[in-house]
């Protein structure tokens, strides 16, 4: 049932990111919402449950995006393991964990996206746009990201309760 939840969540996030946001506010450079899901998996879920999901999502994202194949896979895996590593120092219930994880995750992803392609860029305008986008992304993520992750956590808890109740009553 967890995997079904992950699948539905991913589909919703991808649709929101690729079709809803560009139609409503095309100018806004919003951060990658799927990354929040990766951070959620890294923070609250076990490796055997989280890692396969991260791999599948990364491949889907690599296929949908115009990015070179494997870029999302690399970025997401780094973020996933980075967040798990961070969890060794900060308790999962700590209020500081999510903002720190989100900020560092978004920053890390942007570095993966930018550095290999914009390295050696001599045009100031391009560099300025890149820096501006990274700052806006990180700020947006720190403000909204933890809240979205908490919502994911709550929804999954309820989702699993509903299914447990449903299957229990069926078996009785």
Partner 1 sequence: MISRKTFIIVGVVILIIVNIIGLSRIGKTKNSSSGFQRFALYGISPVQSVVSKSIRSFKSVWSNYFLLISVSRENEILRKKLGVVTKEKNKYIEVAYENERLKKLLSFKQNHYFSTKAAKVIGRDMSKWFKTVIIDQGSAQGIRSGLSVVVSEGVVGQVTEVALNHSKVLLIEDRNSAVDALIQRNRARGVIKGESTDRCFLDYALLKNDIRVGDIIISSGLDGLYPKGLRIGKVTKVVRPNAGIFQDVIVTPFVDFEKLEEVLVIQTTKTKSKM
List interacting residues with partner 1 (CB under 8 A). Answer: 14, 17-19, 22, 26-27, 29, 32, 34, 61, 64-67, 110, 113-114, 117, 123, 125-126, 129, 133
Whether 51 and 81 have beta carbons less than 8 Å apart is answered as no
Residue 79 CB, shortest distance to partner 1, in Å, is 14
Closer by beta carbon to partner 1, 53 or else 84 = 53
Closer by beta carbon to partner 1, 34 or else 97 = 34
Whether 102 and 137 have beta carbons less than 8 Å apart is answered as no
3-class DSSP assignment, residue 110: helix
Residue 26 CB, shortest distance to partner 1, in Å, is 4
Residue 63 CB, shortest distance to partner 1, in Å, is 8
User: Cα torsion at 92, 100, 37, 109 (round to 10°)?
Assistant: -140
Residue 8 CB, shortest distance to partner 1, in Å, is 18
Structure tokens at 55: 């791999």
Residue 78 CB, shortest distance to partner 1, in Å, is 16
- CA 142 – CA 159 distance, rounded (Å): 26
Whether 145 and 98 have beta carbons less than 8 Å apart is answered as yes
Tokens 């990201």 correspond to 145
Closer by beta carbon to partner 1, 59 or else 86 = 59
Closer by beta carbon to partner 1, 40 or else 62 = 62
3-class DSSP assignment, residue 111: helix
Closer by beta carbon to partner 1, 97 or else 152 = 152
3-class DSSP assignment, residue 29: coil
């Amino acid at each position: 049932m967890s995997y079904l939840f992950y699948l539905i969540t991913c589909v919703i996030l991808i649709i929101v990111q690729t079709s809803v946001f560009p139609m409503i506010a095309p100018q806004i450079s919003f951060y990658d919402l799927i990354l929040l899901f990766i951070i959620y998996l890294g923070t609250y879920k076990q490796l055997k449950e989280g890692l396969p999901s991260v791999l599948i999502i990364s491949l889907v994202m690599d296929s949908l995006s115009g990015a070179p194949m494997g870029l999302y896979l690399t970025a997401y895996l780094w973020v996933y393991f980075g967040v798990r590593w961070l969890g060794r120092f900060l308790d999962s219930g700590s209020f500081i964990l999510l903002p720190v994880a989100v900020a560092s995750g978004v920053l890390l992803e942007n570095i993966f996206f930018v550095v290999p392609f914009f390295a050696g860029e001599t045009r100031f305008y391009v560099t300025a746009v890149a820096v501006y986008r990274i700052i806006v992304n990180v700020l947006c993520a720190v403000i909204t990201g933890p809240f979205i992750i908490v919502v994911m956590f709550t929804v999954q808890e309820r989702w699993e309760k509903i299914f447990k109740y449903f299957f229990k009553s069926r078996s009785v």
